[in-house]
Structure 1
Amino acid sequence: MISTASRGRTSNGASRGRWGAVCFAAGALVLGTAGAARAAPVDDEIRALILRSKELYRLGAPDLAIEFLERVHEYAVPATHPFLEVADRAREAVDRVRAHFYEGINYYNRGAVPRALGAWEDVLTWDAKLLGDRPSVYSAYVTSFWAQEVAYKAEEGFHAGEYEQAYVLWQRVRRIDPESPSANAGLQRLERVADTFYKDGYALQEINPTEAKNRWRRVLAILPPDHPLYQKTKRRLLDAP
């Protein structure tokens, strides 16, 4: 503290000016520090809002999640605040998951199973963007009930001799649920069917070359391109007259 005697001796205007500048700078520093201290809790509140919104979405309350994300705009100022972009990306993911989820249901109810699967694959993509490896009720539903339903459709196709359709469905089920027992078992059965088609084509190539090539084309339609029999069959088709 500056004593009264000291202030009395400070009669030089320049000295008073310098002292005023020092006081102003000190005050500005204090105010700036206080402002930063106030900003930190606000940022913490914004983070909490975003995390809470993600948890609400994960548990199946997307409308509440969106309400929390909209509140970010009340706290995050200025308009270039980085948390605004984070909140907007989260809002987009929530909206897209809901849209693709119900789109898939509508396609499935109309019998457009491949298109339904495409929509549900989008659900998993956007769900992962929002939550990483913590699935929401939407992705859990897709990977369990709907994947099982589509696998059942593939099984029906297989028994009806519609092997190509069964292959497409089982492959897409496996992309949704890589551990699906029914899809993996079904694809193994298709390998045996493909082997039969290949042998039939080999037996028919001299008698009926056109039908032989048709059998080989069916091999290509029910095996992945990296399968040895697929590659062998493709070479035989290329060499066929």
Structure 2
Amino acid sequence: MATNLACVGLDVRTRSGFRDLVQGALPEAKVIAEEGGVRLQVWTDASGARLVITTEGDLVRAVTTSYAGPLGARLADVRAADGGLAIAEIVDADGDILAGLACELEELQLLGDAEDVPPGDACIVGLGRSVEVFAGADEFLASDASLMTFAGDDDVDDGGEPMRFEPESFSPDGAFTMQADAVARVNGTVLDVAARRVERTGQEFTAAQVRTDGFEITLCVPAGEPRLAVGNVVAANTYLVASLPSLLPA
């Protein structure tokens, strides 16, 4: 299973290696908000790999692994949740709800105690901890990956077939648990694939734009794990990170 850092070419194996990575990124990071001595800083590599770092004085309070992807979804009813996460609804252009999600939000510090955050266009990044790839929808639907996890031998629909996920479907597994978790099952069609390389580490990763249940996410995986091509259908267990640029100061 890939780590969040490995998904964007920043894989480190030790605590000291992670500390060195963060400390090396801080001088190049952009401060996007500061209040009461707490700074929100963003380091973005030319590859798109990103670290969102919250500091207080010389102390690093939090680090979020992310990617500078395109805006592919619209978030509404965004609010803070326990565990340093946010929960939100994904809506279409008419404001109809497509799905809910729990995620790490890059701009969480700017959310504060706001109770009425206007809907805004967002980038949703899925860090692909495990990913299966299929040539197309038919191959996906014929595979065990399409079976709903709660569907046992006796759980069949009216046609006598096991219940299956659609090739483009989103299951926010961590959004409705007692303790929110930023995980989701993403099934979707690959629209675009880009190979990336992080200059600081020399590591490579793949960023793929994936269409799922009425919106798009950017799926990031270590290079070749697995290989992705336009038109593939993926079944990915992901860790979700979102960015809502409308929260940034003007």
TM more than 0.5: no
Which is higher, the Rg of structure 1 or of structure 2? Answer: 1
Give the TM-score category using the shorter length.
Answer: under 0.3
TM (norm. structure 2) is: 0.21
Name the structure with the higher helix share: 1
TM (norm. structure 1) is: 0.22
